[in-house]
Structures are given as structure tokens and as C-alpha cells.
Chain A
Amino acid sequence: MSLLESREVSKLYQMGSTSVTALDNVSLKVNEGEFVAIQGTSGSGKSTLLNIVGGLDHPTSGEVFFNARPLGPFSKREMARYRRYSVGMIFQNFNLIPTMNAQENVGLALAFGGLRGTQRNNKASELLNRVGLADRLTHRPGELSGGEQQRVAIARALANNPKVLLADEPTGNLDSTRAHELLELLRRMASSDALTILMVTHDRELATSFADRIIQMKDGAVVDEG
């Protein structure tokens, strides 16, 4: 059974009199434990799809299912809970809070998960330890390299033990060596945590070397489900 499924998901943006179709009847399934890459040119709707699957955005039509449950009827609060506990997201530009150090960034996600005090700090350093940043706990994003920042983002995404990691061009700002290292880390964590990964990338080489399956997108539609 598939953990994630999108069924005829469309997203339209109204721009004055014209409308832009960012997603056009996208249907796909991702099984539990799979490492799936979505590949396509810029503007093909990859980020839009990922945001909808991650509960940050709503489709204009169609439905997303998580564990066979449709996200559509979720209240705002349930949607927040879904983002908090069920999925973790990482982004091309890391999206860390610049005024917080590594431990605080991870700790913020843990705080939303209800952990406090030393328990929270311990869990944060444990997570950072797992991504190889045990000696960077008190560094702020500005004091970390791109690869290190993305690893902090991974630690934060996994803070509340989600089943799915959604990654939007996670290596977009990294050189190829760092990119390989990062994906190596992701694959290791995925296998140890039984994590399902849906990763957007425009890099075909990376996708083929790490993903179990590659979904091809073009102009908002899936052209090849891999």
C-alpha cells in the first residue's frame, strides 16, 4: 500500500485575466520506505506539488492521501499537526532561522512537538550528532557551510519522527561533492529510520544514483512515473 498518493491534483494560479496551470492532473503514488526523485525542468511544478503534499498548500482540485487518509477535509489545526508529526521538509535555501544556533533551530521543531528543557536540548544534540554536527551545536546558520546548514535542516525535519521527508532541491546550493555527501547521509538515515523520501531535483545524475525511482514532470504534468 502506498504511503503517499496524489490523485488528479491540479493547481491553478489566477494572474489577473490569465490563469497559470502549475499542476495539471498529477497522479502518483509513493510506497513506504521508497526514495523517490521528482525530476523536471524549472517551472514544471515540482515545488508546487511538494508543497501540496507537505500540507503547506492546497490543490485547486484533486486530493492528496497520506496513509490512505485524504488531506482535504483537515482543519487548519490538523494540517499543522500533519506538518509537525507526519512529514519533514527541507529546502534548497535551507530555511533555518538565522538568529538561532543549530541546537535552537532543531529545538524549535522539538518545542512544537511538545518537548522541553534538558530533554529537548538532549534530543537536539542527538539529532545533530546523527547528521555529523556534534561540534557545531552553538553555531548560527551564518557560521556554517551550505552542506552543514542543510544537515541542520535535516536534523530539524526529522525532529518529530516523521514518516516522510520532503526535499525540494536539497542540493541546489551545494557543489557536487557536498551534494553526494548529503544524499549519502539522507539514504543512510532513511534506511535506519524506515523513512520515505520524496526529493525534487533537476539533477538527473544525482537522481539516478540515489533514488529508487524517478518521476519525470513537464509543464505541470507527470510524463513518466518511473
Chain B
Amino acid sequence: MNFFDILQLAFRNLRQAKLRALLTTMGVVVGVAVIVTMVSFGLGLQQNMLARFGALDLFNEITVFGRSLTNLATAGFDRQTGRTNEGGERRGPRLKPDKNPTRILDDAAIAEIAKIPGVAYIQPTISLYVYTRANGHVRFEPAAGASVPNGSSRFKTFLAGGMISSADADEAVVTDSFTEDFGFENPADAVGQTIEFLAPPTNTNEKSKSEPSQAAEEGPANFFGIPLDEQDTTDASQTDLVARTFRIVGVLDLHLKDGPGQGGMVGLLPGAAIYVPVRAARQWALEHRGPMSQVALALARQSGSLNGSEAEGYDAAVIRVSDPVALTDVRKRLTDLGFGSFSIVDQIEQIKTVFLIIDSALGLLGGISLLVASFGIANTMIMSILERTREIGIMKAIGAEDREIKLIFFFEAAVIGACGGVIGVLAGWGMTALANRLAYRFILKPQGASFIDFFSLPPWLSASAIAFALVVSILAALYPAARAARIDPVRALRHD
């Protein structure tokens, strides 16, 4: 008796008690549909979330940390967990390095890191708060340095204008909220306007001494105007403060970002309202450091951690890897070089673990309903053995082996399991599709949101749900099949 004969017999037996077979199969259908719906909901949740992270450049970026000024200043003294050095000049999420960096992240280090295989680009992070004047308004605004050219997705969508033209240009890119705050009616109105960075007059004087060429170049008339306008106090107090001007060349579109990107978090680069070329931002940060930062610098120089003229390095830089796969290797190289680093991927791994637990819990619910279905299968099988005792006796009398009797029952269960599995997957798929339509129709659409697939039903889930149903069904038939094989033919055939 071959596979096909046994399958045929199994089908015949199921047809004999159609309603019973149908009801038993329904149990499996429900179990599988629940599994599929639950797990695909969990997977969909995960997928939607990870897709957003991916779209926001959070998978392929690393923040690298150098030895901070606080660390340099307190070297040789009792190590204290110092507060940050820049006196409130930083902004953005506080990302922590995996270990304390031992090297200074200066331009040489940046160049070295850029050569690590897999690093697509590196851009130092410089975040500052600056009193900014534009369009007749003055505000205390967060500003940041941006490499030019810049491949980060943050600088991809502009409401008006475009990216800063070169690394040395006195140009700035601002956010859409900046234009609102500064009273521009349309984002486009801001393009071509000037932004003035304000600084204390003394600082300006110092600066003009130390680096006259830089400041004088682009600085408007007020620079030369300082001695001229000395008598005109009102005017001087106004103009004296202007330390640097930039021309707005682009307005970023961050408004439409929702989800994890809300508030301009695109990639690991800390957000700001104004972006100017890195060099300009760096220069500003060094020249207009806060008093606490000055103390730290002085301490660092005293302790010998920094040479007399040497500046401290960047606090951090953002690295983009060419391939997320290379991320771990690059991070290892950074550690070897003595830098600290941070990447979202560690967190993603944890998130994935959480999702695994969620999926398992959801799957367990489905598993329980399938377990209930398996009792149904066992019950059906035992019933059918009682009805078919004579038939089994006959088969044994004409030469059926125990193995063949068992196989007939296993195949019956397998047919129930496979049919229930396939129909269950289809039912689950239908349910998820329906749920999606309803969610769109009654929740998303009234809010003006676009269609989102809340569920993810990958082929492996369908396949494993069917396989699981099959395995559970066959396990349920284990006892009934053994019992059928044990039937004593003499007893079964004794005439009633």
C-alpha cells in the first residue's frame, strides 16, 4: 500500500463523515487564523516602526565621541563626573558613548576615521545656541554645523532654496519653523535674507584682533564702523553686537515628518534651527565659548592635557556607513582607535527582542486555540475508530500491517491539518485585510492620513502556520492511531 492509496483511503474516510470532518477542520481554521492574525499584527507593528527608523537614516549612522574638554580639564585631578562643559551650548538628544573615549576628536582624527573602510562620510557635530537677528526679530536659537556637501537625508527636502553652496560660503540653511518664528510669511521669503549672529562687543574686538582677516572679509560695514560710530551710542550698541552674518540659501521641510522623525530628528545629527558650514560653526564655538568652557580650557592647558595653542577636539561627529552591515565593524575600529561611539542599532536589537516577545505572546494565543482544535481532532479520530472497528478488523484480516493502519489515521489528521491550515491562513489574511480597510476607513481617513498596512504576513508565516497546524494535527492523531493499530481483529470481526 503506497502513499497515494493511504491518502485516498484517508479522504474516503473523511468523506464518510463530512459534517464531522468539516467541524473538526473549522477548529483548525480558527486556530490558524488567530495565529496568523496575531503574529502578522506583531510583525506589522515591528515592520512599520523599523521602516520609519530606516527612512530616517537611523540604521546607518554612528555618533563617534572624542575626549571631551571636561575630561581633559579634570585629567590629573580627581576624576569627577563633571557636568557638560559648554554651559548650555549643546542641544539635541544626549547620546551616550559606549565607553569613555581616550582620544581627542580633532581634524586629524576626523580624517583618519574617514579612511576606515565602510565609512561613507563623517561630519563633526557642533551645536550652539546663538542670539540671532533676522527680519527685525532677535531670538536665542540653536545652530549647528553642517558639512558641505552633505549626504544626510536631513538636507534632502527643502521648502525653498537649497543647500549651502560650499564649505567656506557664509550661507545658512534654516528650518521651516525658523521662518515662522522670525516672521517670514512664506518660507521662500527667507531665502536671500541675512541672519546675524550676535556676540558681546568685547568679544568682537578680541576677535577682530586675533583673526582680522576672517571677520573683516564678509563682515559688513559695522566692523570698520566701530571706531567711526563710536559717538553714536545707540547705533553702536545695536551694530556692535553683530559678529557674523550669513545669507539664508535654503529652508528645510521638517514639518510633514511624523512618527520618530517628529521635531526634525533625522539621522543622528542633533537638530537645530540654523545650519551653517562646519568651519564657521567651529570657529564660532571656539571664539565665543562660555565662561565655564573657558575655565575648562584653561585647566586643560594647565594640566598639560592640551598644548598651549592647541584647541580641544570636537565633542562628537556623525558617521554614515555605506552599508548597515558594516556598522558593527566600523564601531569596533572606532573603539580600537580610542573613541567612544553610539548607534541606534543596539537599541534596535533590543526593540527586536521586545517584538519577539510580543510576537511570541500573540502566537501563543493562537497556539492555544490550535491546541483546543487538536483536542477536537483527537476526539474525532477516536469516535471514528469506534465506528470503524470492524473495518479495521477486516483490513487486518486481509493483511494490513499496523503501520498501514496508523498511517491511514495520520493521513486523515494531516488532511484536516493541511486543509485547516490553508483555509486558516486565507481566513487570517482576509481578516487582516478587512481590519486594515476598516482602520483606514474609520480611523486614518478621517484624520487625513494615508493608508498604512498594519499587518505583515510574510510567506514564512503562512508556511509555518500551515506546517504548525499539520504537526499539531498529526500529534493529535498519535494516540488514536496507536489505538486503532492495537485493535484485535478477532474481537472486531466477531459477529454481533
Contact = CB atoms under 8 A, between A and B. Distances in A.
Interface in A147-199: 156-157, 159-160
A116 B396 contact: no
A156 B399 CA distance: 11
B398 A56 contact: no
Contacts of A83: 396-399
Contacts of B404: 112
A97 B391 contact: yes
A116 B402 contact: no
Contacts of A84: 398-400
A123 interface: no
B27 to A, nearest CB: 25
A54 B395 CA distance: 14
B77 interface: no
- A: interface residue count bin: 20 to 34
B209 interface: no
B298 interface: no
A116 B493 CA distance: 27
Contact of B397 (A77, A95, A159): A95
A80 B397 CA distance: 8
Contacts of A116: 2, 4-5
B401 interface: yes
A50 B396 CA distance: 15
B186 interface: no
A157 B404 CA distance: 19
Interface stretch (A61-69, A85-93, A213-221): A85-93
A160 B399 contact: yes
B1 interface: yes
Given A97-B391, A111-B5, A80 B396 contact: yes
A33 interface: no
A114 interface: yes
Interface in A76-113: 76-77, 80-81, 83-85, 89, 91-93, 95-97, 99, 108-109, 111-113
Nearest to A97: B391
A143 interface: no
A58 to B, nearest CB: 10
A27 interface: no
B490 A112 contact: no
B154 interface: no
B90 interface: no
Interface in B371-422: 390-391, 393-404
Interface in B97-153: none
A134 to B, nearest CB: 22
Given A93-B495, A95-B390, A97-B391, A113 B16 contact: no
Contacts of B495: 91-93
B396 A56 contact: yes
B490 A80 contact: no
Interface centre among B16, B399, B403, B490 (most CB of A within 10 A): B399
A88 to B, nearest CB: 8
Given A51-B490, A83-B396, A92-B495, A111 B401 contact: no
A112 B397 contact: no
Given A56-B489, A56-B490, A81 B399 contact: yes
Given A95-B394, A116-B4, A109 B399 contact: yes
Contacts of A212: none
B12 to A, nearest CB: 8
Given A97-B391, A116-B2, A108 B398 contact: yes
Nearest to A48: B490
A159 B397 CA distance: 13
A57 interface: yes
A80 B1 contact: no
Contacts of A97: 391, 394
A216 B176 CA distance: 113
A157 B402 CA distance: 19
A54 B401 CA distance: 15
Contacts of A56: 396-397, 489-490, 493
B390 to A, nearest CB: 7
Interface in B445-496: 489-490, 493, 495
Contacts of B4: 116
Contacts of A95: 390, 393-394, 397, 493
A112 B5 CA distance: 9
Contacts of B490: 51, 56-57
Contact of A80 (B5, B393, B399, B493): B399
Nearest to B8: A111
A72 B393 CA distance: 21
Contacts of B401: 76-77, 80-81
Contacts of A112: 1, 395, 398-400, 404
B398 A156 contact: yes
Interface string A194-210: 00000000000000000
Nearest to B402: A76
B18 to A, nearest CB: 13
Contacts of B489: 56
Nearest to B398: A109
A51 B396 CA distance: 12
B397 A89 contact: yes
Contact of B395 (A51, A76, A108): A108
Given A57-B490, A81-B401, 17 more contacts: A51-B490, A77-B401, A77-B402, A80-B396, A80-B399, A83-B396, A85-B399, A95-B393, A95-B394, A96-B394, A99-B12, A99-B16, A112-B399, A113-B399, A114-B1, A156-B398, A160-B399
The 7 nearest A-B residue pairs measured at CB: A84-B399, A80-B401, A109-B398, A112-B399, A83-B399, A93-B495, A111-B5
18 contacts: A56-B493, A57-B490, A76-B402, A77-B401, A77-B402, A80-B396, A80-B399, A80-B400, A80-B402, A83-B398, A85-B399, A91-B493, A95-B397, A109-B399, A111-B1, A112-B399, A112-B400, A116-B4
